[in-house]
Amino acid sequence: MSRFNSYKRTNIILQHLKMSNHTDAAAEVLLERKGCAGVITLNRPRFLNTLTLGMIRQIYAQLKKWEQDPKTFLIIIKGAGEKAFCAGGDIRALSEARNTNQKMLQDLFREEYILNNAIDSCQKPYIALIHGITMGGGVGVSVHGQFRVATEKSVFAMPETAIGLFPDVGGGYFLPRLQGKLGYFLALTGFRLKGRDVYTAGIATHFVDFEKLGMLEEDLLALKSPSKENIADVLETYHAKSKTDQDKPFILEEHMDKINSWFSANTVEQIVDNLQQDGSSFALEQLKVIKKMSPTSLKITLRQLMEGSSKTLPEVLIMEYRLSQACMKGHDFHEGVRAVLIDKDQSPKWKPADLKEVTDEDLNDYFKSLGSNDLKF
C-alpha cells in the first residue's frame, strides 16, 4: 500500500471514529414519543447506563416539555440492555474533574438533584422499569417517581459509603421512610436487595416477571388517554400475575427485629457496639462490612438520614448538595474511587481512619450552609 493510500485510510478511520463517538454521545439517552407516553431510555449499556451531566440535562428538559404536553399521558423510563437500569452516576468522571473542572462538580450534583425533585413533583404518572442493576443515581431517577416496577433480575443498593460518599439523590428522604430501620441498614452497609425483595422492601411499587416486561410496556403505550387509575390497573394486573419467587420470604425478614434494634442508635459507634455485643454470624458479617467503609461517610450518612426523616424532599436535597460539595473537596471520595474503580486494589486508606477521629466539629462542616451557592429550586 502506498504511503498516500495509507495516510488516506488512516484519515478515513479517524473521521469514522469521530463520527461514531459523536453518534454515541448524541444517543446516551433516547427520548421518544410512543403511543400515549414519553419514553426515556438510558442508552449506555456498556457502562451499565450510568448517568452523565449531558443525559441529566436532556432528561430534565424533555420531562418538563412532556409535563406540559396534553398528548403525553405518562412517562416511562428504562435502561437499554438486560444488565442494568442504571448503576449510578459517572463517578470516575466526577473524581477526574476535581483537578480540571470544578464547575462540573457543582453542576452535576445541582442538576441531578433538581431532576430528582422534578420527578417527585411530576404532574404526569412516571413509571420506572427498574430491571437489572439500580444503584446510586439510578435510584434517584426512579424511586421518586409514582410507580417503580422491579423484576427477578433487579438489584438495588446504595453503596456510597464504600467510596467515601453518602447515599445521595434524595436517599436522606426515602431511606428513613422504609420500614423500621431498614433504610439505615441499607445506607450504612450498602446491602444489596435482589428481585422481589426490592418490592417487599418498598423500593418498588410493583413486581413483574422479566419475560412480561415488554408486554407490560406495550399495554401501557396502547392506553387511550389514560387516567392515573387506568395506569395503576394495568400495573396491578401484571403484578398479580407474576409468579417468580411469589412465596419466598423477604431475605432480611428473620433479621428485621434485630436490625431495628441495632440501627436505632444515635451514633455509628453505638451501632458498632450493638453489632459486636450481639455476636451472631449475621451481626458480625455486617460489622465486618461497616468496618471497611469510610468512617467519615458513615457518620455523615447516619446524620443525613436522621435529619432527613423529618424534612421534605427539597429540604433533603439542599442538605445533600452541601454534603456533596464538601465530599468533593475532601479526601475519602477520591481515595474510594481510586481503590474501587481505578487501581481496583479494594484497599482504600481513609482519612481519618477511625470513627472516633471524626469529630462533631468535622461533621458540622459538611452540613454547613453554602450561602448564595446553596441549591435552589
Phi, psi dihedral angles at 229 (to 5 degrees)? -65, -40
Contact predicate 333/163, CB 8 Å: yes
Element at 29 (helix H, strand E)? strand 29-34
In Å, how far from its chain's centre is CA 61? Answer: 20
End-to-end CA distance of the chain: 61
The residue written with cell numbers 438533584 in the block is 113
Q: What angle do CA 25, 30, 34 make, to 5 degrees?
A: 165
The count of other CB atoms within 10 Å of the CB of residue 143 is: 26
- Active site residue ranges: 89, 137, 160, 168
Residue 171 cell numbers, joined: 436517599
**What SS3 class is residue 124?**
coil
CB 40 within 8 A of CB 76: yes
Return left, alpha or beta for 213; rule: phi > 0 is left, psi -120 to 50 is alpha, else beta. Answer: alpha
How many helices (H) and strands (E) are present in the chain, helices listed first?
A: 17, 10
